[in-house]
Structure 1
Amino acid sequence: MIDTAASTHDTWDGVDLHTLADRLGTPLYVYSASAIRDRVSSLQTALRGTDHLICFAVKANPNRGVLAFMHSQGVGADIVSAGELWRARQAGIPAEHIVFSGVGKSEAEIAEALRQGVLRFNVESHDELLLLQHIAQAQSVVARAAVRINPDVDALTHAKISTGKAENKFGVSIEEARRWFAQRDALSHVQLDGLHVHIGSQILSLEPFRQALQRVAALWRELVGQGHPIASIDVGGGLGVCYREGHDRPIDAAAYVALVREALAGFEGRLLFEPGRYLVGEAGVLLTRVIRLKQGNERTFLVIDAAMNDLARPSLYDAWHDIAPVAGDARSMISYDIVGPVCETGDTFAKARALPACAPGELLMIRSVGAYGASMASTYNSRPLAAEVLVDAGRYAVVRQRQSFEDMVAGEQPANHWETA
């Protein structure tokens, strides 16, 4: 588990969690600035002496308060939509510190990213490459681009977050990348001078990274030998975090960077990194209260006020999150099925999970939710989005107000004005 400035169950980064829950209500996302700072620093320290840029994967946690904090730590942004571009720019991240990834960039999104002057496009298909050329020519600018390689490497992670196998929708084969570079002189308004690879998320072994980087390095050396300049290599993200204490063993940042240095030895261009989960995952907890205990014929259900709309990972991926009472007093252990109030059987956070005996009103924390928690939340069952708070060495700041019912339905209206098309 990440060290959150000597956090205990009762506090998170020096802030009393009972007080936060009483003041701001539950469910409530709480992010530790100290934990994020430590993770950024671990990467920056390991990368000392290299020409590099860390670009936070905005999809992991797009809160503007979090993005502004990333900017304050010298971190840029990896985006996959115009909305993420807007958020990053609103948070103060300069366009020249933003890379644009994703298989489905629309014409409008590419045009806006070019107008903003983003650092680089990670291109994922030949159709996208030609569209980028067309739009850049129309704007009389030159777009800088990298080809996203699909190295056909198994990331040894959940199938739904694997992105580097040939069967996945991401990137192109090494053979197709060779053809792009062979024809690069025909691209009058695209400077194709980068390589990009990202094989998946929540990776807990160095071996998949080693295999992918070896293939990228071989292509880089081959292309340079043919006279094609390679100005940057983007090694993506994917570093895993600890969701289950005593079970998940995340990769050390220094060991990971050492592998990158070894695989790309002799490369004199810029290294780009796109960590998301690694920077924020363990920094976040979700505070939730017990609504009631329900005794079934075979199971004891602990019904809490957080639900699958607040945290989708357990229902979407069968993902494990450690769950514990905030009060750390000794109690007898009971096996619970921990469930939310949404009208879906899938609204289940854990089955047969041993917890200290709980009572209605008990404050619980769900750990390691800083990534893909609030970012994947919805208003299903007309449940407003939870508030989000950043805590830092004993102080806190609300970075997202709890959504009101009025906020939730803003933009909806009766069908009083009919038109024809």
Structure 2
Amino acid sequence: MKKPFVTLEQLEKMTAEYPTPFHLYDERGIRENARRMKAAFAWNPGFKEYFAVKATPNPAILKILREEGCGTDCSSLTELMMSDRCGFTGSEIMFSSNDTPPEEFVLAAGLGATINLDDFTHIDFLKDTIGYIPETISCRFNPGGTFSIGASKEGFQVMDNPGDAKYGFTPAQLKEGFIKLKAMGAKRFGIHAFLASNTLSNEYYPTLAAILFKTAVELRDETGCDIKFINLSGGVGIPYHPDQPANDIAVIGEGVRKAFEEILVPAGMGDVSIFTELGRFMLGPYGCLVTRATHEKHTYKEYIGVDACAANLMRPAMYGAYHHITVMGKEDARCDHRYDVTGSLCENNDKFAVDRMLPRIDIGDLLVIHDTGAHGFSMGYNYNGRLRSAEILLKEDGSTALIRRAETPDDYFSTLVW
């Protein structure tokens, strides 16, 4: 059973100051997880985690992660701007985008960010846009086909289909691209790949690493390019269901180390730095959506209406994604009521849970929707004119801080021309 990182007593104090719904983040959990991540890859002197800003784009969160030694992985103009304003500079910023507008390359170059190109045609586009090719450059690799590592020791099979993904260079394009970039002035190279999402297997990163390490050796031998870093990107997941196994980042780091020593060290590439770009793993479990039961409906099914909706958390409506729900104060009560837990949008998929067995829910009960620390608030929107909620930080000392106020009707109307 999932246990909230906050108590009912704490939430009652918070809701006296901050009306529901709101997203709540656990500073202590975030810091401890960042330190586990760093320790797992401490064997690699150049290791750096570039937090995926798209997962949780909040300055307070980014500043915490910067204090813990992380950089940022940006994919848009505003994410670059936020990183800059939070104090990230130069190589602390990784810029990985696709179908990239020219002004985004201009800003990335101006900030000294490491640019990770998504496509072979972007080589000339980048040169034409900023007037030069940076001396340090990275390219995103897509091996095509279907990626699978079969059943792991955890009993979870990782499968994805890179061949259908819009991202990255083909193997032939990657070789040609490195040769072209080197001729245009690039001196230091990186390789990046993302082959599967939200994997619950300690074998995903080591398997991906082995693929990229072998690719790096081949590219070095065939192009003469100096490969300085290999970026494993994201894909390490979290257990949304309470009965799913959690990844062990220490085991994952050790698996990558073994592949490193088996492949890169004998090839004379033992100085290559390892980068990661995790979002969900870094933040997912350390955020929750706090909402209050406001209505109950008894028709063909039993419904509980809450004051949050898909505008606050899109994943269940968009993907049918599971998010565990705790009825605060009733953690030990029997789950003997079957509910659909719904929001107020004019869409039938605006449901946080369908046929979920929960304790009896009374009007006014506070509900914690778990694992919204990544891709929660960030995917919000304003359909039906619903306003996006506040973000609150539960600090290490137990106090709280408002790190993003809730939207108001004035915010909603501010961009309109009457």
After superposition, give the CA deviation of every residue in 1:280-336 in whole Å (9 maximum; x if it has no partner). Answer: 000011110111110013x10011111011100001111000001111365452110
Aligned residues: 399
2:180 corresponds to which residue?
183
Residues 110-121 of structure 1: pairs in structure 2 closer than 5 A: 110-118=105-113, 120-121=114-115
2:383 corresponds to which residue?
380
C-alpha root-mean-square deviation of aligned residues, in Å? 2.2
Query: Are residue 402 (structure 1) and residue 396 (structure 2) matched?
Result: no
Letter in 1 for 2:165: N
Q: Give the direction of change, closer, same or farther, for the CA distance of 1:253–1:243 in structure 2 (3 Å limit).
A: same
2:248 corresponds to which residue?
252
**Runs of 5+ unmatched residues, structure 2:** 151-157
Task: Please state how far the C-alpha of 1:352 moved relative to its aligned partner.
Answer: 0.9
Pick aligned residue for 2:292 from 282, 289, 293? 289
1:54 corresponds to which residue?
49
Between 166-175 and 202-211, report the one with greater CA deviation.
202-211
Q: Give the direction of change, closer, same or farther, for the CA distance of 1:164–1:209 in structure 2 (3 Å limit).
A: farther
Instruction: Give the Cα separation in 2 of the matches to 1:19 and 1:76.
Output: 34
Pick aligned residue for 2:102 from 84, 104, 107? 107
CA contact (8 A) 1:389 1:399 kept: yes
CA contact (8 A) 1:3 1:35 kept: no
Residues 10-409 of structure 1: pairs in structure 2 closer than 5 A: 10=8, 16-50=10-44, 51-118=46-113, 120-136=114-130, 138=131, 142-152=134-144, 153-154=146-147, 165-188=162-185, 190-191=186-187, 193-226=189-222, 227-246=224-243, 248-265=244-261, 266=265, 267-297=270-300, 299-328=301-330, 330-332=332-334, 333-393=336-396, 394-409=398-413
TM-score, with normalisation over the residues of structure 1?
0.89
Instruction: Give the Cα separation in 2 of the matches to 1:337 and 1:52.
Output: 45
Identity of aligned residues (%): 27
TM-score, with normalisation over the residues of structure 2?
0.90
Task: Please state how far the C-alpha of 1:355 moved relative to its aligned partner.
Answer: 1.0
Instruction: Give the Cα separation in 2 of the matches to 1:218 and 1:3.
Output: 42
CA contact (8 A) 1:310 1:385 kept: yes
Instruction: Give the Cα separation in 2 of the matches to 1:329 and 1:67.
Output: 32
CA contact (8 A) 1:151 1:164 kept: no
Task: Please state how far the C-alpha of 1:359 moved relative to its aligned partner.
Answer: 1.1
CA contact (8 A) 1:42 1:254 kept: yes
Task: Please state how far the C-alpha of 1:49 moved relative to its aligned partner.
Answer: 3.4
Q: Secondary structure at the match of 1:231?
A: strand
Task: Please state how far the C-alpha of 1:164 moved relative to its aligned partner.
Answer: 6.2
Task: Please state how far the C-alpha of 1:101 moved relative to its aligned partner.
Answer: 0.6
Task: Please state how far the C-alpha of 1:397 moved relative to its aligned partner.
Answer: 0.7
Q: Give the direction of change, closer, same or farther, for the CA distance of 1:345–1:384 in structure 2 (3 Å limit).
A: same
Letter in 1 for 2:260: L
**Runs of 5+ unmatched residues, structure 1:** 415-421
Instruction: Give the Cα separation in 2 of the matches to 1:172 and 1:31.
Output: 37
Instruction: Give the Cα separation in 2 of the matches to 1:329 and 1:166.
Output: 44
Letter in 2 for 1:401: R
Instruction: Give the Cα separation in 2 of the matches to 1:156 and 1:22.
Output: 49
Q: Secondary structure at the match of 2:226?
A: coil
CA contact (8 A) 2:312 2:381 kept: yes
Task: Please state how far the C-alpha of 1:209 moved relative to its aligned partner.
Answer: 3.3
Instruction: Give the Cα separation in 1 of the matches to 2:159 and 2:23.
Output: 27
Letter in 2 for 1:54: E
CA contact (8 A) 1:155 1:203 kept: no
After superposition, give the CA deviation of every residue in 1:194-239 in whole Å (9 maximum; x if it has no partner). Answer: 1111123211124443443222111111122242210111111111
Instruction: Give the Cα separation in 1 of the matches to 2:181 and 2:239.
Output: 43
Task: Please state how far the C-alpha of 1:250 moved relative to its aligned partner.
Answer: 2.4
CA contact (8 A) 1:155 1:208 kept: no
Instruction: Give the Cα separation in 2 of the matches to 1:329 and 1:173.
Output: 50
After superposition, give the CA deviation of every residue in 1:65-111 in whole Å (9 maximum; x if it has no partner). Answer: 11111112111100000110011111222232000112222111101
